[in-house]
Chain A
Amino acid sequence: MSTQRKAVALISGGLDSMLAARVIMDQGIHVEGINFFTGFCVEGHTHAIRKKDRAKPKRNNALWVAEQLGIKLHIIDVIEEYKDVLINPKHGYGQNMNPCLDCKCFMVHKAVEWIRAHDFDFIITGEVMGQRPMSQRRDTMPVVARESGADDLLLRPLCAKHLPPTLPEREGWVDREKLLDFHGRNRKPQMALARQLGIEDYAQPAGGCCFLTDRAYSDKLVDLWQARGEREYQLDDIMLLKVGRHIRPNPRFKLIIGREEGENRFLEGYRKQYVSLCPTSHKGPLVLLDGWPEEADLELAARITARYSQGRDAEQVTVAVRQGDGEERELTVAPMPPGEIPADWHV
């Protein structure tokens, strides 16, 4: 009796990884999914924070895909290990702060560790040659296989026919003839295959499951590093980059200003870690100060806070300034006129 071979599939939640897993499952291979959480995964974070979005239906697409396929999904927290990938990418960044090629090498490497620990035979991904400008090119796909340590245990079912046969193909665990030859950015072949397999519902490809491909987010990350004088971050830092209006009057500090009730509530959870400001004479936002503000900075911060309150047109607004330890005092200030906030303060 032949041994049933086992593969782990990198599941992003998109159509390609879903199809890749299904194509291999249909060849009788036992497939389980793996999904890595770097801290930068989009997965509805802003929906979870902003009140106006809270009623929108939301789901974790990787979990949803696993359920549709009927496979287990292992979600792995790689937040700490991922820092080195982002801070020191050997292959550099894409258009923004996205280290896509290093990221793919890292994730496949983690999958190699996982299959060794769990006695699985090979790894599959939904990569399509020519689909992504960094990590899915003819010349970079072998780099991923080599640098991840996966070598010929890495099978890309959707474009396998453009690549040399891998171990699972050579050993006859999977039939190469039933694998595919997709290429390029045209998604019609994937959609046709989905129809053929009876897959009707899937996450639409938006090219952005990672905040690091987003220009505005990347700008905030670069600003954070420049202000701190070092390329470092904690999970709270990168979460707060997703929230609020960020205004940096000088290198010592920036304000993170809640834009609505949901964001204010989210920022509330960070008040023990940051100096925070909140108008008391008028309704207004909760504001966190990130950095090392000096005494004079607090008045400036209070004036900006007042500008974003309902007292923006009042002569004076009273703002409570609270230290992380709970010590609180009030400042009464004139709201800063909108024209006096230079455009380049907006991060």
Chain B
Amino acid sequence: MAALEGVDIDIRAGEFVSIIGPSGCGKSTLFNMLAGLIKPSAGKIYLDGCEPDSLLGKIGYMPQKDLLMPWRTVLDNVTLGLEMDGTRRRDARAQAMEELPRFGLKGFEQRWPSSLSGGMRQRAALLRTFLAGREVMLLDEPFGALDALTRQAMQEWLLELWATDRKTVVFITHDVEEAVYLSDRVHVMSGRPGRVELSLDITLPRPRSYEMTVSPEFNALKQQLLEPLHEASRQQMEEVR
């Protein structure tokens, strides 16, 4: 049985796109395909208009777990991607030191990851992906494990970061509010097989502030997303039964 069917998504450079769906809808499969870890059995993935042999090493990837290596200091963790590219150690470190303040990690470069808070670990993981220098970054529920207040702060911070660098971000989440708040467009997926049920442009102006999350426009968008999402979750429950 196919995990995905009829996923037709077009992402423009510099866009912030979210994919949302109930667990088991094929989000992870799609994510791993975009990262180049799985080859699609049918269909094509284009990057910059051409179809590369392998997407490995071409896409920035940040999985749910921070995956910081406990045997490396924060500095050596965040330069991992550069190190794998063959960047000279000194250059890699210099680049990292420059970015540390923006990621709220200044002064923590020589610490072990085990001494960092959850939010800091997540920022370190993001910096590691960021420093690898890919134009497209896949973020899989990066704030899923954080408490609500930390998550809110991290979302605001991520938007600031994105506004400065304008990298293309593909963000996976199952938090509707998070998706609306962050994205230019949201794709709702449903299972199985996974397909895109709805693609919705988020027309809220930028820069966005947290006050917007209680505005009527925001709620209307949320409502539009919740409906197909609710339907998808319900279907899945029935399938299990």
- Decide if A and B are genuine partners: no
Residues of B whose CB lies within 8 Å of any CB of A are none
Residues of A whose CB lies within 8 Å of any CB of B are none
